[in-house]
Amino acid sequence: MFFFVALSLSSTEVLPLDALPMNRFIEFLKESRTEMLEHVTWSKYADLQRTSVVVLVATLIFALVIKGMDMSFQAGVAALYDLF
């Protein structure tokens, strides 16, 4: 096993090479890749299409409701300004 000597003002400690931040980061990336390839359950393409359509329709309905509210408030404020 390789060791790395970490020097600081207060003390000198010997750390194993795998305790270095860059090596731990590389190990994290390797484990993340393994997790994504072997343990994650990915959705089927048909399911993704179906849920995308549902989101699109819901977004359009929500946008139309917001547009209707905006137009009604605009008409109400315009009518209020016309009174004065």
DSSP 17-78: GGGSHHHHHHHHHHHHHHHHHHT--PPPHHHHHHHHHHHHHHHHHHHHHHHHHHHHHHHHHH
Residues 6+ apart with CB under 8 A from 43: 51
Task: Write the CA distances from 7 to 4, 10, 14, 24, 25, integer angstroms.
Answer: 10, 8, 9, 19, 21
User: Which pLDDT does position 74 carry in this prediction?
Assistant: 97
Q: What is the full per-residue pLDDT of the chain (84 aa) written as tens digits?
A: 454 554 444 555 666 666 677 888 899 999 999 999 999 998 999 999 999 999 999 999 999 999 999 999 999 999 999 988
User: Which pLDDT does position 14 carry in this prediction?
Assistant: 63
